[in-house]
Amino acid sequence: MAGEDEKDKGKTPAAPKGPAKLDRRDVLMGLSTVPALGLFGYAWNSQAQYQRSRAAAATAPPVAPADLQVINVALLGAGAQGQVLTEAMLRIPGLRFRAVCDIWTEYNQRRVVNTLGRFKHEVNGYEDYREMLDKEKEIDAVIIATPDFWHAQHTVDCLKAGKHVYCEKEMSNTLEGARSMVAAARETGKLLQIGHQRRSNPRYIHCYEKLLREAKLLGRIVTVNGQWNRAVAPDLGAPDRYAIPDARLKQYGFKDMPQFRNWRWYKGLGGGPIVDLGSHQIDIYNWFLGANPSHVMASGGLLYHDPKTHEWYDTVMVIYDYDTPLGPAKAYYQTQTTNGSQGYYETFMGDQGTLLISESEVNYAGQLYRDPNAPAWDEWVQKGYVSAPKEQEAKAKSDSGAVADVRESVAPDQHTVPVVLRDPYHQPHLQNFFDAVRGKARLNCPAEIGYESAVSVLKVNQAIEAKSRLSFTPEDFKI
Ligand SMILES: NC(=O)c1ccc[n+]([C@@H]2O[C@H](COP(=O)([O-])OP(=O)(O)OC[C@H]3O[C@@H](n4cnc5c(N)ncnc54)[C@H](O)[C@@H]3O)[C@@H](O)[C@H]2O)c1
């Protein structure tokens, strides 16, 4: 799956980026397939189709400048996200894949080993990462995309073996695990990047550095609102011929194949959609507000999925309090399992303007609204920080005969953020990691930032269980 981000991990993990990835034709195809294959068959079929199209889309390997230091890379966890990261890495010059480790030797491991072979990376496949670390001494960096509950052990052992690590979010499903990762990075002096890829997205960086910090276009941010609405979809399955033997599943912490495929929904393995999806966006709340939350209250439940087969909440609504350097702020976030209308985005509302931003290049990529009472933005338009405002549609509205209430504010000017990401979403974050390995950049999401994000997000599930408002202390975010 292209990442849950890719938006729809939980259901059509193989779906490419974008909010709920099923369009009308997909739904019709899916429904017509269900009677023949069962839900299990449909979910598998979608993933296989997606993966074929992703592999076919991979571009020819880039030519590296002769003096570029080659970095030897291993992939640990070759599932949906491991494949998305591999595709992005194949576009980055100066990388040499050496090994792929995945316990699903029958399917994911073989698939990625074969794909890399087609791109002239002769790699060895491993089931056990410790054997890989023992045998592949020349590896410089390990990219970890295993389920969340494995992140801490994999990361700590790779760092201690002298490797730099890029580890997917959520950094860990426990704070103890996340703390051990920070400690290992400090102890070994090796780099640890956490996969909150928006931190390296040029549009997010532009908004933070130019629009919020330099031009201060929003004024004082008072409220934040964000969401990831996702369409319902069947659980993931796998054909019997690719089933992992029970003994191996248990050895690696999985009860059976359905749990192995749908680990996100299980306590002790993942954190449900709020962790899977929300972690990306709540990380942006902290970044753009320049603060960590002080309190959290949340409500959640299994409103759609069967509690007999799903443990984590499919629907969560959260309110955070922040004490930002400019004053108090409140931030709402929701992740829903219903349909994907309105997709995923973050909105920051200040007393002078609003920023609506998303990782999605198609929906809400970056829109800005200037309050009519705010100072003019001409300077920022001229500098190219924001586009010129769109002509207002007030006249069209009045032509429609609708009557505006006297209390309605004048519609703010609408601008756009003129920065587009033309590469795969994860490529800039991986590039930042490899640049840092070469000593040419600082990590955009080092372990300490990943930890602050994990503290903020993992507490949501606690708040739901406690049915009360929980506080954070500044010490909670320090290690
Ligand atoms: N940054 C993003 O946008 C993004 C998107 C999707 C997923 N992710 C993260 O990537 C990670 C993987 O998610 P996914 O969707 O690819 O899951 P997945 O289930 O598709 O893939 C996980 C892979 O890890 C393998 N695995 C499990 N335990 C292992 C072990 N002990 N040793 C070696 N291999 C093991 C499995 O066989 C499987 O191939 C998760 O942490 C997830 O949160 C991040």
Q: What is the full DSSP assignment across 19-79?
A: SS---HHHHHHHHHHHHHHHHHHHHHHHHHHHHHHHHHHPPPPPPPPTTSPPEEEEEE--S
Q: Which residues on adjacent β-strands are paired with residue 321? A: 295, 330
- For residue 404, give every residue at least 6 positions away whose Cβ sits within 8 Å of its Cβ, in sequence order, or none: 397, 398
Ligand 1 midpoint to CA 306 (Å): 23
Residue of the nearest CA to atom 27 in ligand 1? 146
Strands across the sheet with 71-76, in order?
124-126, 95-101, 71-76, 141-144, 164-167, 192-194
Ligand 1 midpoint to CA 82 (Å): 7
Residue of the nearest CA to atom 18 in ligand 1? 79
pLDDT (0 to 100) of residue 66: 83
Query: What is the DSSP secondary-structure string of 357-404?
Result: E-S-SSSSSEEEEE-TTSPP-HHHHHTTSSPPPBPP-HHHHHHTTPPP
- One digit per residue, the tens of pLDDT, for the chain of length 479 reads 333 433 333 332 232 232 223 232 222 222 222 222 222 233 444 444 444 445 444 555 678 888 899 999 999 999 999 999 999 999 999 999 999 999 999 999 999 999 999 999 999 999 999 999 999 999 999 999 999 999 999 999 999 999 999 999 999 999 999 999 999 999 999 999 999 999 999 999 999 999 999 999 999 999 999 999 999 999 999 999 999 999 999 999 999 999 999 999 999 999 999 999 999 999 999 999 999 999 999 999 999 999 988 999 999 999 999 999 999 999 999 999 999 999 999 999 999 999 999 999 988 999 999 999 999 999 999 999 999 987 655 444 555 666 666 666 677 788 999 999 999 999 999 999 999 999 999 999 999 999 999 999 999 999 999 999 999 999 999 99
Pocket mutation for ligand 1, best pick of 17, 46, 102, 421 (most atoms within 8 Å of C-beta):
102
The ligand 1 atom nearest the CA atom of 148: 41
pLDDT (0 to 100) of residue 17: 31
Ligand 1 midpoint to CA 148 (Å): 7
Three-class secondary structure of residue 226 per DSSP: strand
Residue of the nearest CA to atom 34 in ligand 1? 102
Ligand 1 midpoint to CA 301 (Å): 24
Q: What is the four-CA torsion angle of 206, 210, 211, 215, rounded to 10 degrees?
A: -170
Residue of the nearest CA to atom 38 in ligand 1? 79
What radius of gyration, in Å, describes the C-alpha atoms of the chain?
A: 23
pLDDT (0 to 100) of residue 99: 98
Q: Is the peptide bond before 136 cis (omega within 30 degrees of 0)?
A: no
Ligand 1 midpoint to CA 98 (Å): 19
Ligand 1 midpoint to CA 358 (Å): 23
Ligand 1 midpoint to CA 146 (Å): 4
pLDDT (0 to 100) of residue 407: 65
The ligand 1 atom nearest the CA atom of 101: 33
pLDDT (0 to 100) of residue 401: 65
The ligand 1 atom nearest the CA atom of 77: 24
Number of Cβ within a 10 Å radius of residue 94: 16
CA-to-CA dists, residue 465 to 10, 300, 335, 454, angstroms? 22, 9, 17, 17
Pocket mutation for ligand 1, best pick of 1, 4, 87 (most atoms within 8 Å of C-beta):
4
Residues near ligand 1 with C-beta < 6 Å? Answer: 1, 3-5, 9, 13, 76-82, 101-104, 108, 129, 145-148, 150, 168-170, 195, 197, 252, 276
Q: How far apart are CA 214 and CA 421, in angstroms?
A: 22
